[in-house]
């Protein structure tokens, strides 16, 4: 599994911590930036990451971080075939995969700390899509 990860300046520190955590778990990471705390526009990073994930045909998932997670989730969801979920807790992350087959996890660095973020990431990455027909029907409606 490949994870495309990105953040704006507000999410940079948390992105770096999550990136190191995932590398320690042996996850293949593609970091699209930012690479410092210099001011950056979250739509640029979120769009780049979402475009790569959509083009991967299911072989990549994403993690996007900004101050609240709202901006990156709004931006990512504008890219066709992206289902970005904003999660501030592991339950939401788990259900976003199980019910919605989310392929991008969005978090807010001003909302969650590193230990909670690790739990959210673990829940997201360890949960498969249920494949339940009612959930698939709803996803198909989104794709239409």
Hey, what domains does the chain have and what are their CATH numbers? 2-143 (3.40.1400.10)
Residue 95: which residues within 8 A CB-CB, separation 6 or more?
Answer: none
Active site residues: 66, 99
Please provide the average confidence, as pLDDT, over all residues in the chain: 97
Tokens of 119: 């739990």
Give the global pTM: 0.97
Decide if 12 contacts 36 (C-beta within 8 A).
yes
The 10s digit of each residue's pLDDT in 127-139 is: 999 988 999 999 9
Number of Cβ within 10 Å of residue 134's Cβ equals 8
Cβ atoms of 72 and 66 within 8 Å: the answer is: yes
Say whether pLDDT at 143 is over 90: no
């Amino acid at each position: 599994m490949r994870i495309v990860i990105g953040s704006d300046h507000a999410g940079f520190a948390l992105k770096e911590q999550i990136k190191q955590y995932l590398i320690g778990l042996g996850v293949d990471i593609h970091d699209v930036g930012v690479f410092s705390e210099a001011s950056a526009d979250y739509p640029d990073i979120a769009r780049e990451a979402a475009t790569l994930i959509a083009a991967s045909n299911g072989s990549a998932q994403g993690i996007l971080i900004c101050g609240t997670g709202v901006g990156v989730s709004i931006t990512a969801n504008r890219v066709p075939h992206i289902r970005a979920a904003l999660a501030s807790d592991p339950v939401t992350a788990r259900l976003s995969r199980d019910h919605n087959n989310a392929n991008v996890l969005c978090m807010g660095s001003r909302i969650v700390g590193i230990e909670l973020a690790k739990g959210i990431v673990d829940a997201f990455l360890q949960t498969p899509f249920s494949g339940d027909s009612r959930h698939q029907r709803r996803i198909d409606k989104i794709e239409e």
